[in-house]
Structure 1
Amino acid sequence: MNIIKNICLILYYLIGRHLPASQSPYSFGAKKIRYVLCKKVFNKTGKNVNIEHGVFFGRGFDIEIGENSGLGINCRVSGPLKIGKNVMMGPEVMIYTSNHKIDDVNIPMIFQGDTPKELVEIEDDVWIGARAIILPGVKIGKGSVIAAGAVVTKDVPPYAVVGGNPAKIIKFRK
């Protein structure tokens, strides 16, 4: 089983990642090819998932993505990551689940290693705008909108519209 995952992962990075974007007039099934490869790599992949051109997801083994959801052009994500159903994601979104340790001033930061990985969870019916950044351990509530360029450092309640750096609630959807 791991052999198939590893082969699909290699094929994704060698071929699938570089195929044209799905809206391109010359994509010729690129969306389907990336879907088939990622379905074998991710822990869970729903129906009609769109992994766009240039997406980087590391090894991808600890990623779940629900039906009708997608990772936008040139997104960079890492697991553990749970994405619900009907999630839209703009280009160049970054989702981090770990960070650099910086606690000990007697040791250069480069030698301190990384913090433990923290799950990022994105619930159903969320829209994440272009170049948004989501940091480790954040939960994005159902029906939320993350504005383009937002830096999300804390949980977002359901149906909130957030934006800015750090992201703040702008309003709630009705």
Structure 2
Amino acid sequence: MKNYENLKAGKLFKTDAYLVERLTACWEKLVKLNMTIDRKERKEICQELFGSFGKSTVLSPFRCDYGDNIHIGDGSFINFNVSMVDLGKIEIGNRVLIGPGTGIFTAIHPTDPEIRATGIEKGADIKLEDDVWIGGNVTILPAVTIGKGSIIGAGSVVTKDIPEMSIAVGNPAKVVREITEEDKIYWQGEYEKYLGEMEK
């Protein structure tokens, strides 16, 4: 139990028999999740798998380590082939879009190879705030917060915090511009056109 307590506290831990049991229990749920297309069953599995789960969608295949370190709000959409290494807590807010092939990795291994070989490790939390959009094949590294409303371009590697209402791209991801009132005006206009066309 001590290693599990350390894992939850973001301290150094080593996988022991108890953690293997928890990993195995998670994998059993993942097999069920990744084998069913029944929406009701998928929702029930997600509610058992994750630490908390709102009215959101997770497509398969999906992979994680423990599941209970992942918290997902309402209206979020996790596309297929997403992997989450949840040694640290992963918080996903409301209306978050995560593109296919994305990896969210909280694990930190020692830089010293001899210590790394002992199997000791720890996790650092990752947070995606409300209304974030993560493009396809993005990698998000430990101890990162992506601010509300921000967009991460496809293929980017996020190594540091990204402020609210920003567009960041590249490896490492850097902010290229803010999301402004002009974006709001343009997209509101496009949406109004769409609504008008649908009424015809």
Of 18, 30, 33, which aligns to 2:41?
33
> What SS does the aligned partner of 2:63 have?
coil
Asked if the contact 1:125/1:144 (under 8 Å) is kept, the reply is yes
The residue that corresponds to 1:46 in the other structure is 54
- C-alpha displacement at 1:58, in angstroms? 1.4
- Pairs within 5 Å for 1:47-126: 47=55, 49-79=56-86, 80-102=89-111, 104=112, 107=114, 109-111=116-118, 113-114=120-121, 116-126=122-132
Residue in 2 that maps onto 1:24? none
Distance 1:35 1:138, change over 3 A: same
How far the C-alpha of 1:6 sits from its partner, in A, is 9.1
Residues 137-164 of structure 1: CA deviation (Å, up to 9, x unaligned): 1000000001100000000000110010
Question: 1:32 and 1:153 mapped to 2: Cα distance?
Answer: 36
- Supply the distance in 2 between the matched residues of 1:164 and 1:88 (Cα, whole angstroms): 19
Task: Tell me the amino acid that sits aligned with residue 107 of structure 2.
Answer: S
Aligned counterpart for 1:161 among listed residues 159, 167, 170: 167
Unaligned 5+ residue runs, structure 1?
A: 20-26
> Helix, strand or coil: the match of 1:171?
strand
CA contact (8 A) 1:12 1:34 kept: no
Give the greater-gyration-radius structure (CA).
2
Show the 5 A alignment for 1:136-151: 136-151=142-157
Q: Secondary structure at the match of 1:56?
A: strand
**Aligned partners of 1:138 and 1:153 also within 8 Å:** yes
Which one-letter code corresponds to 1:78 in the other structure? V
RMSD: 2.2
Counterpart of 1:15 in 2: which secondary structure?
helix
Q: Distance in 2 between matches of 1:112 and 1:57?
A: 19
Amino acid in structure 2 at the alignment position of 1:72: N
Distance 1:92 1:155 in 2: 21
| Residue segments in structure 2 that go unaligned for 5+ positions in a row | 1-21, 181-200
Aligned length: 157
What amino acid is aligned across from residue 108 of structure 2 in structure 1? N
The structure where helix makes up a greater share of residues is 2
> Normalised by the size of structure 2, how large is the TM-score?
0.71
